[in-house]
Amino acid sequence: MATTSDIKNGAVILHKNKRMKVLEFLHVKPGKGPAFVRTKLKDIASGKIIDETFNSGIKLEFLKIEAKEMQFLYNDGDSHVFMDNITYDQLNVMNELVGKAANFLKGGMNVDLLFDGEEVLDIRMPAHVKLEVTHTEPGVKGNTATGATKPATVETEYTVQVPLFIDEGDILKIDTRSGEYIERVKS
């Protein structure tokens, strides 16, 4: 069993029968009274963030989370199918767990799946993805000085706001954290 001195950012602990990821921590040693550790924890299942204070030296149960690189194959309707790159085993991950990452997943793409034993906890996406524009309205020539944008649908059916000069067939670099357009990729 580990103690509060082993807390690190990104560690996963079992707290009140919930898996919690440590986002921030601070060891506090006041002039009077015992030391303690102030933490900001994220519930992996619900995404809720809470502040929690632990007395220094108490025992905590740390979970060993394994990241495994897997290839996204296709969307099965109510789940997404991933393949292990080493064993070629296929794994179905429910759409609720995939969440917003579904907007950026295209067939053949490698992502990291985070496991606690056999259970999938989360999908770690790359910071940026390159997706092709499948539909957008044509831009009006000479209207680019205003910084205006228009909606564009990419190959994953995700709609993003882009500058007016973007056309169908262009490859866009999109930030997976915010879902925003970054730049047009030169072919």
What does the pLDDT look like over 106-119, one tens digit per residue?
Answer: 989 999 988 888 88
For residue 81, the one-letter residue type is V
Q: Give pLDDT, residue 180.
A: 92
Q: Give pLDDT, residue 140.
A: 66
Q: Give pLDDT, residue 160.
A: 93
Of the pLDDT bands very low, low, confident and very high (cuts 50, 70, 90), residue 2 is confident
Q: Give pLDDT, residue 3.
A: 85
Kindly report, residue by residue over 54-93, the tens digit of the pLDDT.
998 889 988 888 888 999 999 988 899 999 989 999 999 9
Q: Give pLDDT, residue 12.
A: 86
Distance CA 173, CA 162 (A): 11
The label of the residue with tokens 């925003």 reads 180
pLDDT over threshold 80, residue 25: yes
The label of the residue with tokens 């707290």 reads 15
Out of 3.30.980.10, 1.25.40.10, 3.40.50.1000, 2.40.50.140, which CATH number does the structure's domain 128-185 have? Answer: 2.40.50.140
Kindly report, residue by residue over 127-170, the tens digit of the pLDDT.
899 999 999 988 766 655 567 888 999 999 999 999 888 889 99
- At the fourth CATH level, the homologous superfamily of domain 66-124 is Nucleic acid-binding proteins (2.40.50.140)
pLDDT over threshold 90, residue 97: no
Q: Which helix (H) or strand (E) holds 111?
A: strand 110-116
Cα first-last separation, the chain: 53
Kindly report, residue by residue over 3-16, the tens digit of the pLDDT.
888 888 878 888 88
**Cβ–Cβ under 8 Å, residues 166 and 184:** yes
Distance CA 175, CA 168 (A): 19
DSSP letters for 36-77: EEEEEEEETTT--EEEEEEETT-EEEEE--EEEEEEEEEE-S
Give the list of residues 6+ apart from residue 146 with CB closer than 8 angstroms, or none. Answer: none
Out of 1.10.510.10, 3.40.1170.60, 3.40.50.720, 2.30.30.30, which CATH number does the structure's domain 2-63 have? Answer: 2.30.30.30
pLDDT over threshold 80, residue 187: no
**How many Å is the Cα radius of gyration of the chain?**
22
Do the domains at 66-124 and 128-185 have one common CATH topology?
Answer: yes
Domain ranges of the chain: 2-63, 66-124, 128-185
- Calculate mean pLDDT across residues 32-51: 87
For residue 15, the one-letter residue type is H
